[in-house]
Structure 1
Amino acid sequence: MGSYSDSTSDLDEELPVFDFLQPGRGRTSQSHAGKPDSECSDAEAALKGNAGARTGAADVLMISSDSDDCAPYVPLAQRLKQRHGNAISASSAVGNGEDAERCSPSDMASARLPRQNGSAESKRVSRGVSSGDTSPAGRKPAERTEEEIQASREEALRRRQAREGQQNGKEALREEQERQKAERKALAEAAKALRPEECIKHMVVAVDPALLQLEGGGTLLASVQALGCSCAVEKQAVPRSVSWMRRAPCAQPDDDGSGGCVPEAHVVMQMTVDDFVTLIHGYVQEEGRGQCGSGPTLTSWVQEQQRRHPGKVLSLAVIDLEKYFRSQKLQSQKRFREAAAGEERGGAKARKRKKNGGDEARVEVSRVEVEEAVVHLQLHTGVSVRFLSTWKDFSDHITMTTRAVAEAPFKREREKTGFSFYLESEWAGGQRVDKAGKGLLQVWRRQIQQFNRVSPDMASAILAAYPSPQLLRKAYNLCKTDRERISLLSDLVIRRGEGVTSTTRRVGPELSKRLFLMMNSCDPQQTLDSL
């Protein structure tokens, strides 16, 4: 073990080297292994020079030897600090190595980019990483071809057309539903307008102005307005006539009849007594006396009106014809009294009136001639004549005709029962039978009364003996021969009336035979009078 010297002047003195004080010797030797001695000597000289230069700043004790090791001596405290720092740096290096392995080169490159380009590049990098492609081409969006662009446009157009078609279909369906709803509403309103309580509100009575200028024109107008229908004053094709029009259900109630109305065929014409008597006289001259061409008759005049107005059902109304007949009767009685008295003065006056054309100018017809002319008119033209006493009666006649014209469509629909024969109301209604069987006896009575010439008394006599068809069939089965069955009901007594005035008679073989055929015949074509 060598001595320690405090003198710094003798730097060339060789000092011993302790191996245990140099833990890094092996590493130093290994690091300098393979180097020439000249390099090691140069390093030692450089260290010595540096040590001498720093003697003023810090006292560092260097131990050297002549061995091959040229590593400088480091104190223990410094070596412990270096060893602790190496451990910390080693752990940091390991951590940095692992992070480097986890990070891709593209991420490291993006981290070094400027801040303003970080957002766009991070988006492209994220797309590339999510798709699994870390190449630069994976970061760019794939460009679509012209075919793909055209296909996408066609697909968008097809979808838009499909949406528009669906919308148009919904609108068409909605319009169709609204149209059907309007049609159903119109049909319901039309059916409601035909009801008796509603039809009069849809009628328009057209009155000729010439008719209102007569004596009872005001009465006629008041009666029509009180009825609840509309009234229109307009010139008619037939003079002094009244016609009717039916307003459509959709028309306004205050319509004057000029629009939205359907004319009816019925026309009632008021004929003055003078015109009517003149036409009757023409008929008498033509038919009774054979004088053709003397003037128009009632029949020829009506036929001319029918030719002018085809499709119209014309009817005539004559007011106060009885006044004419009373006047004619008074004139006849006066002439008879004058002739019976033989007054010359009265005869001279009569001859004077005849000469001047006074009473002879007035046409005279009898009741019989009027009736004959009216019958001839109905047979050849189908036109009827209504004789009325006052204008009030004429107004009532127009009111009644208005109601009849208004209710005619409803009655026609009601009478479409499908039967070729007429049924009375009491028979068409049928007989009601309850759950307890009440009413069956009346049904059996009606079945018997369906036979010709069977009165209620005859039906009651048969019901008294056989209250049900089953009992009658049992009675037929008890008979041994058909002769007994046919005459089974012949001796039944029919009672008529009560008390001392009552009479009796028998059913007879005719009705008994018809009942037998009805109850026992199997041939639907067999007549009841065949036996």
Structure 2
Amino acid sequence: MIDSLQREDLRSSSDSDEELPVFDFLQPRPSTDVASQKAPKKPASSVLCSVGSADVMMISSDSEDDVPLAQRVKLRQERRSTPEEADDLPHRHLSASETGDATKAIKRSVEEIRASREEALRRRQARERRQQDREALKQEQERQKAERRALAEASKALRPEECIKHMVVAVDPALLQLEGGGTLLASVQALGCSCAIEKQPLPRSVTWARQAPSAQQNGAARVPEPHVVMQMTVEDFITLIHNYIQEERHSGSACSPTLTSWVRERQRLHPDKRLSLAVIELESYFRARKSQSQKRLRAAVAGEEAGGGKEKKKRRSGHAEKLPEVSRVEVEEAVVHLQLHTGVSVRFLSTWKEFSDHITMTTKAVAEAPFKRAREQTGFSFYLESEWAGGQRVDKAGKGLLQAWKRQIQQFNRVSSDVAAAILAAYPSPQLLKKAYSQCRTENEKLSLLSDLLIRRGEGVTSTTRRVGPELSKRLFLLMHSRDPEQNLDASL
């Protein structure tokens, strides 16, 4: 029976694809399981041996009763269906080639991990650099945008209708303590500009500053202007002129400062300022001087008649307390000398209201000065701004063509608006004038075509008439027919 079982096992191992029949009486009993086979009730006589590449379980006669045939067949099928059965063997040893492959696999995996980490680090650094570049680009764009906005605002601030709003008028507190200080402050505030009460380097002076728009978020920058207007009292002005007259008469022997030397000293201390002087109520000094002269004359006459000596003594004491006597000619001489040697002008004003108006007009002039300078910096040596040469706008409907033709005629020398109007009344367009020339038969007739046109001046009984004349008629003909671009129309007359 054992031999038959062995033959059966050999046949089943040789043919692994053949399925074995299953019989009911060969099924395992309920009381028999794998765990019971491992129990040490009875020593097992089964031996596991390796034949070639397949393992064969040899069962002795002692284990025949303990391991049924169905269980043995089942175990054999499970071994053939499990490819990793060799890994479960506790006593299996790896070969040298397998050990080397495993070491290479471990090294390769470490190198791959390191390379992947370095690649991830490079990618992260690249992302950070790109992010930094985007942020830097964004900041640069914002800075350029702010600069363009500040430049546009600065250009807008120079326009005549906007420049006055960006001006700051700085007034010395000592000037406000005088008689017309309140009037000056009210006039400046009514102008629409800012007013600042600040102590100035020159006493009783007014300075200006411009609020230039800045690209920074802090606001506008305050740029000072060089113009300074200083109010000089009549007493100081007369005293300086008197010193100048004394110096001129005594050939420079006077030690007191003159008007010119005083202004030069101020220019030396403030070289970046452009000074101008304003003297208020100088006429009152001359009127008082004239009145005093008349009083002295009358008093002298009365004293001579009365023969009193007390009045002469009183006159002398009163004369010592007065200002030095300076004539109008001496004042003009000193002012001209000042302008020639220092370039400083003097403005004589009658009242404090005129002084306030002078400060207001100076503020407007200082505010509009950059715009006017920029307008004059053109590519032409001349600037056509007047009404007759300023150009004429013509719309799509043709409105303005008549005025354009009129201004083209007025470009000639000695051609007024009345002369151009007379030609326009006869020939409202250049095409009509050219057609009239084509109808003339001779050259002389063409040259004198416009000679007899009447020019009317004035209206009613005071109106006068005259003719265009042959000179202008010939110039217009040459304008319409000459083919020489360099021809001088006036030289041919």
TM-score by length of 2: 0.71
Judge conservation of contact 1:271–1:318 (CA < 8 Å) in 2. yes
Alignment of 1:181-192 (within 5 A): 181-192=145-156
Residues 187, 436 of structure 1: alpha-carbon distance in 2 compared, 3 angstrom cutoff:
closer
Report the equivalent of 2:105.
142
1:210 aligns with 2:210: no
1:524 aligns with 2:488: no
Equivalent in 490, 493, 511 of residue 451 of structure 2: 490
Alignment of 1:384-423 (within 5 A): 384-423=345-384
Residues 210, 438 of structure 1: alpha-carbon distance in 2 compared, 3 angstrom cutoff:
closer
1:344 aligns with 2:266: no
Q: What is the CA distance between 1:374 and its match in structure 2? A: 3.6
Residues 374, 98 of structure 1: alpha-carbon distance in 2 compared, 3 angstrom cutoff:
same
In the aligned structure 1, how far is the partner of 2:444 from the partner of 2:243? 69
Judge conservation of contact 1:200–1:406 (CA < 8 Å) in 2. yes
Judge conservation of contact 1:473–1:519 (CA < 8 Å) in 2. yes
Report the equivalent of 1:468.
429
Judge conservation of contact 1:338–1:346 (CA < 8 Å) in 2. no
Which letter maps to 2:359?
I
Q: What is the CA distance between 1:266 and its match in structure 2? A: 0.5
Q: What is the CA distance between 1:503 and its match in structure 2? A: 1.7
Residues 452, 365 of structure 1: alpha-carbon distance in 2 compared, 3 angstrom cutoff:
farther
- Between 161-170 and 135-144, report the one with greater CA deviation: 135-144
Residues 200, 437 of structure 1: alpha-carbon distance in 2 compared, 3 angstrom cutoff:
closer
Judge conservation of contact 1:251–1:260 (CA < 8 Å) in 2. no
Q: Secondary structure at the match of 1:204?
A: strand
Which letter maps to 1:424?
E
Q: Percent identity?
A: 71
Equivalent in 100, 106, 112 of residue 84 of structure 2: 106
In the aligned structure 2, how far is the partner of 1:340 from the partner of 1:310? 54
Q: What is the CA distance between 1:492 and its match in structure 2? A: 2.1
Q: Secondary structure at the match of 2:84?
A: helix
In the aligned structure 2, how far is the partner of 1:251 from the partner of 1:240? 35
Deviations 1:165-203 (A, max 9, x none): 222222222222232233233334434444555544443
TM-score by length of 1: 0.66
RMSD of the TM alignment (CA)?
4.3
Q: Secondary structure at the match of 2:144?
A: helix
Report the equivalent of 1:80.
none
Judge conservation of contact 2:204–2:231 (CA < 8 Å) in 1. yes
Judge conservation of contact 1:209–1:234 (CA < 8 Å) in 2. yes
Q: What is the CA distance between 1:269 and its match in structure 2? A: 0.5
1:219 aligns with 2:183: yes
Alignment of 1:43-122 (within 5 A): 100=78, 103-106=81-84
Residues 234, 339 of structure 1: alpha-carbon distance in 2 compared, 3 angstrom cutoff:
same
Q: Secondary structure at the match of 1:144?
A: helix
1:178 aligns with 2:142: yes
Report the equivalent of 2:118.
154
Q: What is the CA distance between 1:138 and its match in structure 2? A: 9.2
Report the equivalent of 1:240.
204
Q: What is the CA distance between 1:444 and its match in structure 2? A: 1.0
Report the equivalent of 1:441.
402
In the aligned structure 1, how far is the partner of 2:173 from the partner of 2:441? 83
Residues 477, 351 of structure 1: alpha-carbon distance in 2 compared, 3 angstrom cutoff:
farther
Residues 379, 421 of structure 1: alpha-carbon distance in 2 compared, 3 angstrom cutoff:
farther
Equivalent in 121, 126, 132 of residue 168 of structure 1: 132
Residues 345, 107 of structure 1: alpha-carbon distance in 2 compared, 3 angstrom cutoff:
farther
In the aligned structure 1, how far is the partner of 2:70 from the partner of 2:418? 137
Q: What is the CA distance between 1:530 and its match in structure 2? A: 1.4
1:311 aligns with 2:272: yes
Residues 498, 330 of structure 1: alpha-carbon distance in 2 compared, 3 angstrom cutoff:
same
Instruction: Please say which structure displays the higher CA radius of gyration.
Output: 1
Judge conservation of contact 1:298–1:373 (CA < 8 Å) in 2. yes
Q: What is the CA distance between 1:260 and its match in structure 2? A: 4.8
Judge conservation of contact 1:207–1:243 (CA < 8 Å) in 2. yes
Judge conservation of contact 2:243–2:258 (CA < 8 Å) in 1. yes
In the aligned structure 2, how far is the partner of 1:253 from the partner of 1:149? 51
